[in-house]
Structures are given as structure tokens and as C-alpha cells.
Amino acid sequence: MQLKTILNRVQKFKSFIYKSVKWSEVSGGIVLLIEIAARSHSRPICSGCGCRRPWYDTMESRQFEFVPLWGIQVFFVYAMRRVDCCRCGVKVERVPWAEGKHTLTTTYMQFLARWAKRLSWQDAARVFKTSWEKVFRSVEWSVQWGLAHRDMSNIHSIGVDEVLWKRGHKYLTVVYQIDRQCKRLLWVGENRTVRTLLRFFREFGKERYGRLQFVCSDMWKPYLKVIAKKAAQAIHVLDRFHIALHMNKAIDEVRAQETREMKAKGLMPILTHSRWCLLKRPENLTANQEIKLADLLRYNLKAVRSYLLKEDFQFFWDYVSPHWAGEFLDRWCKRAMQSRIKPMMKVARMLRSHRELLLNWFRAKKAISSGVMEGLNNKLKLTTRKSYGFRTFRAAEVMLYHTLGDLPEPSYTHRFC
């Protein structure tokens, strides 16, 4: 069997033929050069308008990298023709195996992009003897295709979140779709300002955001402001997961300060190694942590009192009626204020001032599952951790869409991986 036969089986082009296959020695070893020719009498397609136009002239041959075979690099070699287009002028023809100025064939780009989902970009480059840059360009191309072809209808619920990026120096704003039937990343933007989120709404389009029913977010002010303005018809829900984060932050603060105070007074350091006992939910504690917690609870410490307040707040989420949940919230906030523990008072004040948005959780209970934001957030953190080395926002953006965007791919007759 000839290589041409295989090629015609896996990747056949209508108006072109595989003319010859030959070896070529290059500095790094050997490569396969596959010469492509246009069928005689076939008229080239104008890359400007996509119509068949008269042939004008032929340029020097170009190489397009194709999927490697048995570890050997493969290139298509083709001399592009130019067309004389009555609409666009003299233009380079459009070929079915590559787009624009890309030196990689679209098949190879898709191949690399698929592997880049399973491997780090660095590893994908190493395995296929190519550069990080080429892997990035491939993923970028695949993401652009996916974004242009994704289905943006029927989006009823979105979640807005912020993520730390660049080793914790910068923020990204991310918007997810959190409908039951579809959970994915919709949008990524730099920073977490009013402007950032406004940009999302602008790109999302008025018609679409006018149809939103639920918006989930953190208590971050700029987000609240924009959501109130742009999606006023939607029920705005403060996410349970984010409230737990605020609560844990407060406890951490109390514990750290109290430990310092006790140390200064020369008291027994009972709070050391207690961090996770106080932050974890009781059902997630290890046996040792359980013992430690039982021990701690005997003391009348601020950290312990804060812990009990936090645990008590869990009952809030079990309510069904917004009315009774509201009563509970008021009582809880009052107790937190009476505790005189500053970080907990801060949490109470914050919850109080967002009372209505918190109670919206009960109004939206059937539509939004509480774990969805947390799940997406964890997945995203894993991805950003991998992309810490990325210097540019563009690379991080592409990576996030690639791994979390659930984007469609072009379909070909043959799957190379």
C-alpha cells in the first residue's frame, strides 16, 4: 500500500491530489514531504469571498505541517495560486487543509489541541517534537473555532466569579453557565472591576441577558452593581460557597490573632495545629482532628466561639421558606454582633446588608444546585495553577476556554487522536 492511498483514505481533498511523497534530510533528521497539486482545470477559490475565480499566477511553494507519522515530521508542499477576483482583486487562493497564514494544517492543529487537553502544553510540544508556541497557536485556533460555533441559546442561569491569577497578583473575572443541563465557562476577562463585567454583558448581548433568570455571584461590590443594572429581571443569588469562604476567612483571622495574644501572655499554645479543625466541616475531619476539636471546645476561646457561630449558620441553608430563613439570619447576625469578635461582626454586617440577595437563594433553590459554583471554581483553580507560567493574559484565556468552555470541534471523516 502506498502512503498516498492512506492519505486519500484519511484526508481527501476534492480539487487537489497527492502527487508525490519523498524523504528530505533536515538538520534534525528526516522529514516526509508530500507534494500536493491542484487538479487540472480546477479553478482556485478566492480567500476573500470564497468564490471560484480565474487563476492569476502561482507563488513559491509553501510547507504546511501535517500530523506526524511514526515520529517522523510530515509536511504538505504546495505552491499557492493567486486568483484574479472581480470583487476582491488579486488574492491568494483558499486551500482546504490550512487557514490564513498558519503554517500548520488545520488537522494538525486540531490534533495538537486535543492532546493539549490531556497533557500540559509543554509536554505536548515535547512529545510531538514541536514548540510551545505552535501548541499555543493550535489551541488558540481550536478555541476560536469553538467560540464561533458554540450554541449560545437557552442560557438561563449564570455565575460570576473572581479568580486569582499570576501567582496571586492579579484577578480574572469568569462567567459560567450554571444551568442544570449545561455547565461551562462562558467568558473570561482581565481584572474584576465594574468595567470588566460590563464588557461581558456587552459581548453577551442585550437580548441574551434580558432572558437571564438567575445570576449567582459573590458579594464583591462591582459585580453586585453591574448585575443589578444589567440583569435586574433575574433573581440574583449570593452563592453559598462564597459565604462559606468569607466565614472561614474570618475564623482564620480570629484564630491567628488569638494565638498571637496567647503566646504574648505566655499561655499554653492550645490553638496550634487547630486551623483545619476549625475550618473543615465536622463530617470531613480526620480522627485526630476530631479529638483535637473536642479538646478545643472545652475552652472559652474566641476562635471556638467563632467556630460554633459558623457551624450554627449551616442551619440557615436547610430552610425552605425565605421568610423563616430571614428570621434565622436576623437572629444569627444579632448573636454574631453580641459576640464582640470583630471579624465575625464584619461577616454579620456583610450578611445583613445583603439580606435580600441571600434570601434569593431560597427563591431559586430549585433552579441552582449549591455545589455547581464550587465545582467549577475548583476545576478552574487546577487549570490556573497549571498556567502560572503563562506570561500573557491571552494564553491564560485560551487555556481556560480550552479546558472549561466545553467548546465544539470541527468534525472530520477521520479522527487522528
Radius of gyration of the chain from its Cα atoms, rounded to whole angstroms: 29
Stretch that binds Zn ion, among 81-89, 111-119, 164-172, 267-275 (CB under 5 A): 81-89
Q: Which is nearer to Zn ion, 91 or 134 (CB)?
A: 91
Among 4, 10, 31, 48, binds Zn ion (CB under 5 A): 48
Burial 191-215 (b: 16+ CB within 10 A, else e): bbbeebbbbbbeebeeeebeebbbb
Query: H or E segment at 70?
Result: none
Closest CA to 63 of 29, 89, 32: 32
Among 7, 74, 85, 235, binds Zn ion (CB under 5 A): 85
CA angle 350, 321, 310 (to 5 degrees): 40
The least CB distance from residue 101 to Zn ion, in Å, is: 17
The least CB distance from residue 114 to Zn ion, in Å, is: 33
Amino acid at 322: P
Closest CA to 399 of 390, 411, 408, 412: 390
Q: Which is nearer to Zn ion, 88 or 296 (CB)?
A: 88
Q: Which is nearer to Zn ion, 71 or 100 (CB)?
A: 100
The least CB distance from residue 82 to Zn ion, in Å, is: 11
Q: Are 364 and 382 in contact (CB under 8 A)?
A: no
The least CB distance from residue 39 to Zn ion, in Å, is: 20
Among 3, 10, 31, 49, binds Zn ion (CB under 5 A): 49
In this structure, the strands spanning 157-165 and 16-26 are unpaired
Instruction: Report if residue 88 touches Zn ion, rule: CB under 5 A.
Output: yes
The Cα diameter of the chain in Å comes to 94
Helices marked H in 210-239:
221-230
Stretch that binds Zn ion, among 8-16, 24-32, 45-53, 299-307 (CB under 5 A): 45-53
Among 32, 38, 46, 74, binds Zn ion (CB under 5 A): 46
Q: Are 161 and 377 in contact (CB under 8 A)?
A: yes
C-alpha–C-alpha distance, residues 160 and 157, integer Å: 10
Stretch that binds Zn ion, among 83-91, 166-174, 276-284, 376-384 (CB under 5 A): 83-91
The least CB distance from residue 96 to Zn ion, in Å, is: 17
Instruction: Report if residue 87 touches Zn ion, rule: CB under 5 A.
Output: yes
Point out which residues bind Zn ion (CB under 5 A): 46, 48-49, 85, 87-88
